[in-house]
Amino acid sequence: MGAIKVHTIGDSTMSWYADSNPKRGWGMFLGAFFDPSIVTVNNAGHSGRDTRQFYLANEDWKAVKDAMNTGDYLIIQFAHNDEGIHTNGTDNLDYAAYCEANGIAVPSENRGTNPQTTFRDYLRLFISEARAKGVTPILVGPICRNYWKNGDITRKGQHDLGDSFSKIEGTTLLTNQSVPATDKSMSYVEAMRIVGQEENVPFLDLTEATRALYVQYGQSNCNSQLFTTGDNTHLNALAANLVAREAAQLMKNAGILAEYIDIPTTVIANPTSIVIGETYSGITQDRETILSGSGLAPASGTLTITASENLQVSLDKEVYGSTASLAYSEGSLFQKLYIRALYSEAGEKTDSVVVESGDIRIVIPVTATVISLDGGSAVSATWELKALPTAPLAAVCEGPICGQMTLSNMAAIDYNSAKNEFYDSESTGIVMVRFHNSDEGCASKVAWPAEELDENATRYIDFSLTAPATLNVRITGIKLDVAAHSISSMCCRVRAGVENFAELVELKNMTNFEVNHLQFTPLLVIPAGETLHVRVLPWLNNVSTAANNKYLGVQNVVIEGVAVEPGEEGIENAEEAVKAVKFFQNGQLMIEKNGVIYNAQGAIVK
């Protein structure tokens, strides 16, 4: 494990994505260009965040600070969400105050800072608080958007809103404002550069580097080879790998960790190793790595890929086997390699995938801690959502747990069974509770904002499961059904976590009325007395005007797990132990152990 950590904070162009999502953040690939025995990367980018949201969210900046140690480095890349949706360069709080003063409904969308004021203020906060922990901050210009004019990336694509922005003067909102191209007052990149100069922090111009990269590919090839379909912001795996390479090269050129950075001309795997972590015997775990290379000699050839005992490999994610053959030509290679692990016995496991051809040979270690759940007690929380719920809504629970559904800026809407258009491959007429964008009180519908590109961190449906005060809960499965209603540009992302939320899946532009049956086996453990949150975060994808009466349908939410003694893989008499500690008092779950009574959240009651 490396002695130095590089922490990356930013937005969706940097963040981590689940294998099922075609998007890739460039922070996912940065670690491949470092010597892993010295430097590792903690990619903490978070979709939908502007600088203010990231700083204020406990699961974002606080979590990063807690993970920082003296001698670490912090890469800071923001701007995409700071530009705002409604605000267009005006600070979101100023815009909300303007709306309130003029009797205009305040949009639930709350992203947006101003490049001259709050954007710089939050960059300075990240810098000062990182330095206070002995960490070296680095400012990195945001990657360009795929916006073109006359064969080049537009001004807005380079995060300069100077051609069209909004500002508030006194009590008046001025829109469609502009300044000459030589005026950089509305450039978030220039604002970042100036903060770097003022604070004596390195500024790496990844904005210009990605502009040059896109121009080298050309607009058509960018559309087809670098960005996900129909998306001018988010990268695919090839592009994220190329951008990470550019970022590593900029660091090397600037003398930042240069002795530990390698920009290879041979085949590399990214990531270089697969760490499954804890998993359960008998449950399949799928992972992926990317094989890439440039300047290969010989210029054409075939790689033989061999997997060890507990693994299988695939080049198409359909046919798996113990071996595979991969041809390359013109001295270059870019190929996803899918790795499937399945363990039959508990214990620490170390396997490998070997990729070789002539002088080329790389070994991809695959490690896992396999746990048997024998002896544990099954628990589950279920929300059928077949009828209009009143939030908070308690789950139907099995075992000594509590489950609850709550809403944030979402309203549950009764469903007219005469219009139940929902269907799947086997049936029609499926009834689902519908959810709509709402205000903070979650009492009534509020129009979905126009021009949203990603999730709003404050708009979600939250399903929580609280472990008993004396037992851990190992999650063995999360299931739910979701569907779009009355629109085909409905999107949602599902996240889960106790403190830090990991993405489970993103569904983009869902087919209207078609039910998506989702099922996950995340590696999550809920410590005794703590709470797991499974959040569904919906948005409408870049609709031109605000939209009402557009819904997300949700039903059959189930969180399953096994309750075990803390520090144990299982307990011999789990059922008996569970019965001994479980009882209800005034409708609340209480747990007694060794004469002490706890509530479900782990607080001592008596």
How far is residue 25 CA from its own chain's centroid? 9
| Cα(148)–Cα(226) distance, integer angstroms | 14
What percentage of the chain reaches a pLDDT higher than 90? 66
Segment 124-135 shows an average pLDDT of 98
Q: Where in the chain is the domain with CATH 2.60.40.10?
A: 268-371
pLDDT at 434: 94
Residue 573 confidence class, pLDDT cut points 50, 70, 90: very low
| Cα(139)–Cα(112) distance, integer angstroms | 19
pLDDT at 569: 40
Residue 575 confidence class, pLDDT cut points 50, 70, 90: very low
Segment 542-556 shows an average pLDDT of 92
Residue 602 confidence class, pLDDT cut points 50, 70, 90: very low
Give me the sign of the Cα torsion angle 71, 72, 73, 78.
negative
The pLDDT of residue 454 is above 70: yes
pLDDT at 572: 31
Element (DSSP H or E) covering residue 99? helix 92-101
The correct answer on CATH 3.40.50.1110 for the domain covering 4-260 is yes
pLDDT at 586: 47
Element (DSSP H or E) covering residue 497? strand 490-497
Segment 208-228 shows an average pLDDT of 91
The pLDDT of residue 113 is above 50: yes
The pLDDT of residue 435 is above 60: yes
Element (DSSP H or E) covering residue 92? helix 92-101
pLDDT at 284: 87
| Cα(405)–Cα(56) distance, integer angstroms | 24
Q: Where in the chain is the domain with CATH 2.60.120?
A: 377-599
- Chain segment 384-434, per-residue pLDDT in tens: 998 888 878 999 999 999 999 999 999 998 776 655 678 888 888 888 999
The pLDDT of residue 576 is above 80: no
What percentage of the chain reaches a pLDDT higher than 70? 92
Residue of 398 and 588 predicted with greater confidence: 398
**Neighbour tally for 371: CB within 10 Å:** 22
Q: What is the DSSP string of 75-133?
A: EEE--TTTT-SSSTTS-HHHHHHHHHHTTPPPPS------TTTHHHHHHHHHHHHHHHT
The pLDDT of residue 107 is above 90: no
What is 268-371's CATH number?
A: 2.60.40.10
Coil, strand or helix at 53: helix
The pLDDT of residue 601 is above 70: no
Residue 210 confidence class, pLDDT cut points 50, 70, 90: very high
pLDDT at 550: 95
Element (DSSP H or E) covering residue 593? strand 588-593
pLDDT at 598: 52
Segment 324-341 shows an average pLDDT of 90
pLDDT at 1: 52
The pLDDT of residue 99 is above 50: yes
Q: Are 105 and 40 in contact (CB under 8 A)?
A: no
pLDDT at 544: 84
How far is residue 185 CA from its own chain's centroid? 31
pLDDT at 416: 64
pLDDT at 431: 87
CA distances from 339 to 39, 321, 366 (A): 24, 10, 9
pLDDT at 603: 46
Residue 595 confidence class, pLDDT cut points 50, 70, 90: low
Q: What is the mean pLDDT of the chain?
A: 89
According to the per-residue pLDDT averaged within each range, which of 113-117, 284-288, 440-444, 591-595 is highest?
113-117
Rg for the chain (alpha carbons), in Å? Answer: 25
According to the per-residue pLDDT averaged within each range, which of 73-77, 81-85, 237-241 is highest?
73-77
Please give the span between the terminal C-alpha atoms of the chain, in angstroms, as a whole number. Answer: 44
pLDDT at 415: 74
Of 54-68, 79-93, 408-422, 474-488, which range is least confident? Answer: 408-422
Instruction: Give the closest residue to 304 by CA, choosing from 319, 288, 321, 326.
Output: 326
- Chain segment 269-293, per-residue pLDDT in tens: 888 889 998 888 888 889 989 888 8
What is 377-599's CATH number?
A: 2.60.120
Q: Where in the chain is the domain with CATH 3.40.50.1110?
A: 4-260
Q: Is the peptide bond before 298 cis (omega within 30 degrees of 0)?
A: yes
